[in-house]
Amino acid sequence: MADKIKLALVGCGGIALTHVKGYQNLLERGYDTMQIAAVCDTNDESALNVANQIENNFGHRPNVYSTAEEMLDHEEIDAADICLPHAYHHSGAIPCIERGVHVMVEKPVGITVRATKKMMAAAEKSGAMIAGAEQIRRCMGARVIEWAINEAKMIGTPRFFTMEVFGVTPFNWSEYKMAWRGVRLLGGGGQILDGGAHFTDMMLHVFGPVDEVVCDMRTFEDPELDAPGLGKRHVDVEDYWTSTLRFESGLVGHWSWSRLGFRHDVTSGVYYGDQGSFKDKQKWMHAFQFGADLKLKDGTDVPYEEIERQYLDQLDADEKERLFPFGLSDGVSNECWDFVEAVAHGRQPEIDAATALKAKSLCFALYEAATSGEPVKVADVEEGTVDAYQRPINEHWDL
Ligand SMILES: NC(=O)c1ccc[n+]([C@@H]2O[C@H](COP(=O)([O-])OP(=O)(O)OC[C@H]3O[C@@H](n4cnc5c(N)ncnc54)[C@H](O)[C@@H]3O)[C@@H](O)[C@H]2O)c1
């Protein structure tokens, strides 16, 4: 082919390494449409670590920079994969977008609803594309169960679900990757937004729009931490919530989580319809990542593996290749492929900024409902007319 897509990685922490593995999976299968030409991280060690990995595994060393701006001053790149803490999604992505560089932004695509809209406005102006890096719905298990519920109608009409995770998840607030996750000004929120963005994306994808939510949220433990760029702060993100999601379809969902559920663990993701129910096989908020087992009202039990077989049997070869390129069924490899293909062919990505905005608006609807103590319409949060929780964050970042 002609010149390869020149790609930059912006942010070289935990998820960037997973993306590198995704690109590597593609390369190992002969997909060499792109080349990782540059990496950026304000932490030199992280940038060099990723550059070394790329050199070792791809046979080409990317140029190393501190920030997106510095890189853009020196490189002609086509696309940037933004793997930054939530607070810097917009400030990392917008300089790229303004230069016409297409971006894939990790979930939740901006720290607040306004941050996402600011990126979208920049893209509207420059013509650059924004893809959302959201891997869960692209995993085999999630594609199978979405089909089983919506196409094969295996549980009939969905009526209600419960997703509850209570147990102990120790967070080491002294690590950089947790310190920014501990304060709203850097993370936007806690796990409702962080892990929760995957859950809300899947719920909207499988069950359609949510009309209204109610939510109670607590921060039971608020140790002091060293917040990057902010200094000493107390943890102010939720360590417990319970919520009700009222879907436009009439489906009602109960979603609760705490990382402070000492000694007795509860993990239940069960989705009930008028013909039976699916029990999720995963233990976090990555709904259906590993599929779900079906139990029907008539007493029949159908293991996930059988449903996956039925799903794959009804896909034609072209669909299989589109949904699982090169036979890859992990969501990260697939999102990397989808992004590069979208850039190469000037097509829309599977998940665009508008889709990501919907998933994060649902997350923020929970925060807004917990803040007001009232039910909140998700459309009002997406519209921006309900924003009391997000306002201090928007003011801090001048959004
Ligand atoms: N899809 C998933 O399953 C998944 C999993 C983990 C994280 N994430 C998302 O990925 C993003 C990053 O999370 P992470 O866990 O990799 O965080 P991290 O803290 O491990 O890495 C972030 C990196 O960005 C660098 N950085 C910070 N500010 C910068 C700037 N202005 N310019 C350049 N580099 C800068 C940091 O030095 C750090 O190396 C977040 O949006 C997060 O929600 C997604």
Nearest CA to ligand 1 atom 25: 11
Mean pLDDT for 357-366 is 98
Nearest CA to ligand 1 atom 8: 15
In the prediction, which pLDDT does 3 show?
85
CA of 28 to the centre of ligand 1 (A): 25
Q: Supply the mean pLDDT for the chain.
A: 97
Distance, in Å, from the CA atom of 135 to the CA atom of 104, rounded to the nearest integer, reads: 12
74 lines ligand 1 (CB under 6 A): no
Mean pLDDT for 341-365 is 98
Peptide bond into 108 cis (omega under 30): yes
Write the pLDDT tens digit of every residue in 203-233. 999 999 999 999 999 999 999 999 999 999 9
Query: Per-residue pLDDT for 264 more than 60?
Result: yes
67 lines ligand 1 (CB under 6 A): yes
191 lines ligand 1 (CB under 6 A): no
In the prediction, which pLDDT does 284 show?
81
Token pair listed for 244: 């009700």
Nearest CA to ligand 1 atom 21: 13
In the prediction, which pLDDT does 283 show?
77
284 lines ligand 1 (CB under 6 A): no
In the prediction, which pLDDT does 69 show?
97
Instruction: Classify the C-alpha dihedral 108-111-114-116 as positive or negative.
Output: negative
Q: How far is CA 273 from CA 150, 165, 175, 255, 276, in A?
A: 12, 21, 43, 17, 5
What separation, in Å, do the N-terminal and C-terminal C-alpha atoms of the chain show? 41
335 lines ligand 1 (CB under 6 A): no
Write the pLDDT tens digit of every residue in 111-126. 999 999 999 999 999 9
Strands 301-302 and 102-106: unpaired
Q: How confident is the model at residue 338 (pLDDT cuts 50, 70, 90)?
A: very high
Which one of 83, 186, 285 would you pick to mutate in the ligand 1 pocket, going by the greatest count of ligand atoms within 8 A of its CB? 83
Query: Per-residue pLDDT for 2 more than 70?
Result: no
Q: Which residue has the tokens 């679900």?
A: 161
Contact 362, 213 (CB under 8 A): yes
Each domain of the chain, given as residue ranges in start order, spans 5-136+327-351, 137-324
Q: Which residue has the tokens 């304060």?
A: 183
Return the ligand 1 atom nearest residue 177 CA.
Answer: 19
Mean pLDDT for 274-288 is 93
332 lines ligand 1 (CB under 6 A): no
Query: Per-residue pLDDT for 1 more than 50?
Result: no
Matching CATH number, 5-136+327-351, of 3.40.50.720, 4.10.640.10, 2.20.140.10, 3.40.1360.10: 3.40.50.720
In the prediction, which pLDDT does 390 show?
98
Closest CA to 245 of 341, 163, 187: 163
In the prediction, which pLDDT does 197 show?
98
Put simply, whether the predicted model's pTM sits higher than 0.85 gets the answer yes
Strands 376-377 and 210-218: antiparallel
Write the pLDDT tens digit of every residue in 134-189. 999 999 999 999 999 999 999 999 999 999 999 998 899 999 999 999 999 999 99
14 lines ligand 1 (CB under 6 A): yes
CA of 195 to the centre of ligand 1 (A): 13
43 lines ligand 1 (CB under 6 A): yes
Return the ligand 1 atom nearest residue 286 CA.
Answer: 3
**Fold of the domain built from segment(s) 137-324:** Dihydrodipicolinate Reductase; domain 2 (3.30.360)
Q: How confident is the model at residue 343 (pLDDT cuts 50, 70, 90)?
A: very high
